[in-house]
Amino acid sequence: MAKYIISEQQFSECFEELARHHIKIDDMTIVKHVDGSTNINKIDGTSSPSDYWEKHFNDPIEPSDMICTSCMKKADKFVVGHVEDIEQTKMWLYPVCAICNRTYKGNKSNHIFYADNKKLKEIDITH
């Protein structure tokens, strides 16, 4: 059996292509960054989504493998960003690397990626 080794870049591109074609992967949800999420940063009296996460969920922000599923790269620092399903019917908090959280704003917020269902935390922003 032949063994193939692909680069981190090739792996990332493969994941992006699967998400673009809405290919389902077990225990993952296709999401995108929320446009205008800075307007809803302070919820429930907290100063940021990361503070909200720490206050309400007994779960570390960082994924166990330290891989950001938004860019598929290893990261040292994770923050909590707002993501939504591609139909824009649900919104969650989800850990992404600080670079992705800064990059995918405004017209770049349509960047879609897979999110680990165990790390998606649904939020109610109506109050």
Q: What is the pTM of this model?
A: 0.81
How far apart are alpha carbons 44 and 51 in whole angstroms?
A: 10
Contacts of 56 (CB under 8 A, 6+ apart): 44, 121
Instruction: State residue 103's pLDDT score.
Output: 92
Q: Which two tokens stand for residue 104?
A: 């995918």
Q: Which H or E run contains 110?
A: none
| 25: number of Cβ within 10 Å | 12
Angle at CA 119, nearest 5°, toward 113 and 122? 90
Instruction: State residue 121's pLDDT score.
Output: 92
Instruction: State residue 99's pLDDT score.
Output: 94
Average pLDDT by stretches of 10, the chain with 127 residues: 73 82 90 76 70 84 88 91 89 93 88 93 68
Instruction: State residue 2's pLDDT score.
Output: 67
Instruction: State residue 118's pLDDT score.
Output: 92
Nearest 10 degrees: Cα torsion 23, 28, 34, 38: -160
